[in-house]
A and B are shown apart, each in its own frame.
Chain A
């Protein structure tokens, strides 16, 4: 390693990055944008589902039932409908996602103690959303039924309504989510997004920066000079790993201040892990660059090898424990999973190196292996 040549490569790379607007934008502007866009887009919480109600009964009971839906924060009430034939059009246009149809004689039948069926129509285009809406409506409905029973008990058995309610609720489930007490998906999502965004642009930039030199022909300066393979490759890696780390800090700030994700761990630990992760991700880009000749090929190949594992096998969308053994094995091969565990730990659980050292070591091994491979496959005297 000759320090002067190594720093010459870094300085040149840095000058090119900072003067090329497109590259500079890709390096510093795109990652935060991606983080925000994904963060808003991947919010799995369902609120304000547009709702319409058809009330064929117009009794006090039916109105009371309807108001329980209307008042819920989960629904955005769009108004009463008068005709069932309107439903299909409204749902297909996406104006409403749920319609509750209260049948005639709803109040009368209830008072008489006869069973009543309330029809609910849901937009099933996105099963996840439909399921959640179904859950909400079911819960509201159950709540209403419970009150009806309580009222009946109070009348029949002579309890006061409060007593009756108390008797009804003898056994109830108290749920408390640990590490994300309010159950907001963005809280758990934001740290994972750091992992994903850092897996997107840094390897891409690294691969493109090497392949660009191949396409243009300036790589021949490297081939024709006495700069060593290690000096050149490390000189390429360091600026992009540095950019990745700076981005890591930006994205951390976005997660904490914009998405209000809790950060319970040590910032120093986060930085250390992010630095190692940055050398891993850019290492992937470097390795890809030794196999491709065009920038297009570099972009496509980097996307495939980085994004698919980062999204599918990192535990971001599907928990690792729910995967089959093969999928778990693949997940453990992907660096994103290890960083995912580190970052989850640092954000949600407030744990650090003492518990997560094995993940950090895995990332480190990753970075080293990738660099050794890139070094092995890079040649200054190719066959064409």
Chain B
């Protein structure tokens, strides 16, 4: 077998006018590997992938694919037959007016696939992706997950040796995402295809064999996933402690990485002699510690740790104390938001279906769901922008059906459509919002300083908003939403496109707002990992709330109903997955080089799995229990719901 890498990059530099997208990048993609490029928006992933696919020129360095230097259009042409490329954007490269089958046929004809091969491959791929029932449906009428699978089929139809997938899972619901990874893993294992796949979701790293962590056009670290985890040896300690703010400050003074996740504080403790939980308890001595858990670190911990040691990290800061002035006071014992059986229909389509929940003062409440689950519609109804078709609700003590204008004065709203004026400076934007919310003129100056301080924008007051990095813009937008000191804040997908560091800083501000200022926060997000930051969550799917509890409560509920998550490390993982599936573990899925199964009775299942695999001649290295993620919680709840709906029908 040829052991030369399929892609070899040295010193790649790519600039767009003044923007330095890639700044000297080295990368090797081994043959047969499922290789992940992991990084946030603007890290340089797309630029790198486009140069590899030969669809974009670059400024310096060498890019070799299959040993062929890609240095001209003619050179790039020579490798394109062996390459499949799926650009970023869900279904953006497909043709909306063509049906599934016509889209596939077009790609096949462009690639000169022989008619017989086409029929055979098309049927197989359509069957695997379960798109065969919809083959005549126009692409524009497909759901996000289906578009993404169709894109994959079109990329694979000429059986390339290397496929390049640019953020194939962005904006896709967790169930479809899981499905996509399973199909991809299966196809790659079967055909021995190499794949270069980018993602902005850190939690998807476990899907890859190898990965490179990218930041600001450079690679922070790369290697096998297990190696990456060990780059920053340490333990993660989660601790439930009161009072939280005091504990947070103490831990911050001692450890680099401390985040507040609902009732828990999560600390990354670098490897040392003493046991990690003892060290943490020691720091917190005198405080009321109710629960301590230890876990292995996740890739995000490593990523943030690497950023901090490379000097790109930013010091965490205390929330500035707010200026004196007019503040809206609410009854501290009543929920700040109450939704009772909210319904909203758009024509025959029920976007929101009997949604109920409440948000208490000083609580971070998460509305979690995929795109199109109805989150934004709920927020629009609660803020008085949209009338509900049925149901009731109160916000800030006012009835949402009649007191729209009262509500608008008492809430802050930061929308997913970026609400700042890009051509105004930082200060001009803040003044504009102060004007809109009728902040008394005398109070504008102190609040302006407070917001600049809160958003960490000192020295950038005169900068045009459009020129700020995404993370800073988000915090400025947050500041503008707080200019009238509302006791309730609605945040609609506030962290889309922000890198993990920026996200942590943003959530840190939210946490302090909730605990220090007792602001009630309603946050929507489709990042499953972000749900961990919330005190309580409502999981939304297809307009309904399918689960409603604290993250820990949701996890233990899923564990109780479906079992614990086991990870099997063994030889030939793809074969192992199939053995387990035919042995009764239907939900066995391939994650990189490991297989995951849900086990109602962990000990019994461990022995079952082991004997099943060993009987099939597959040596097992290790079976261990994994903590459930919010993604597992979401997927299990939705699958269970769909299963029940299927049974009923």
Contact = CB atoms under 8 A, between A and B. Distances in A.
B93 A379 contact: no
B242 interface: no
A299 B138 CA distance: 27
Interface string A320-332: 0000000000000
Interface string B507-533: 000000000000000000000000000
Interface in A223-264: 223-227
B88 interface: yes
Contacts of A220: 53, 55, 85, 87, 93
B73 A379 contact: yes
Contacts of A172: none
A16 B97 contact: yes
Given A4-B112, A19-B97, A383 B85 contact: no
Interface string B103-137: 00011011110000000000000000000000000
B106 to A, nearest CB: 5
Nearest to B164: A224
A8 B77 contact: no
A327 B159 CA distance: 58
A218 interface: yes
A181 interface: no
B252 interface: no
A220 B102 CA distance: 18
Nearest to A216: B92
Contacts of A2: 112
Interface in B4-58: 16, 53-57
A380 interface: yes
A227 B110 contact: yes
Contact-residue size bin, chain A (C-beta under 8 Å from the other chain): 20 to 34
B387 interface: no
Contacts of B95: 12, 15-16, 218
Interface in B461-505: none
A174 interface: no
A113 interface: no
A338 to B, nearest CB: 35
Name A's interface SS.
Answer: helix
B569 interface: no
B627 interface: no
B112 A216 contact: no
Contact of A382 (B56, B87, B106, B110): B56
A222 to B, nearest CB: 8
A7 B109 CA distance: 9
A8 B109 contact: yes
A305 B171 CA distance: 40
A8 B73 CA distance: 22
A224 B109 contact: no
A16 B154 CA distance: 18
B96 to A, nearest CB: 8
A8 B109 CA distance: 6
A20 interface: yes
B59 to A, nearest CB: 9
A5 B56 contact: no
A217 B88 contact: yes
A199 to B, nearest CB: 27
A15 B85 contact: no
Contact of B112 (A5, A16, A223): A5
B76 interface: yes
Interface in A360-384: 379-384
Interface in A38-57: none
A221 interface: yes
Contacts of B93: 216-218, 220-221
A11 B109 CA distance: 10
Interface in B79-107: 80-81, 83-85, 87-89, 92-95, 97-98, 102, 106-107
A9 B53 CA distance: 21
A383 B53 CA distance: 13
Interface string B143-179: 0000000000010000000000000000000000000
A8 B103 CA distance: 11
Nearest to A15: B98
A226 B109 contact: no
Contacts of A384: 16, 56
A384 B76 CA distance: 16
Contacts of B72: 381
Interface in A197-233: 216-218, 220-227
B106 A12 contact: yes
Contact of A218 (B57, B80, B92): B92
Nearest to A379: B73
A354 B149 CA distance: 59
Given A8-B109, A15-B98, 8 more contacts: A5-B112, A9-B110, A12-B95, A16-B97, A16-B98, A19-B98, A379-B73, A381-B76
23 contacts: A4-B112, A7-B109, A8-B110, A12-B95, A15-B98, A16-B95, A16-B98, A19-B138, A216-B92, A220-B55, A220-B87, A220-B93, A223-B55, A224-B83, A225-B111, A226-B77, A226-B81, A226-B111, A380-B55, A380-B76, A381-B56, A381-B73, A383-B57
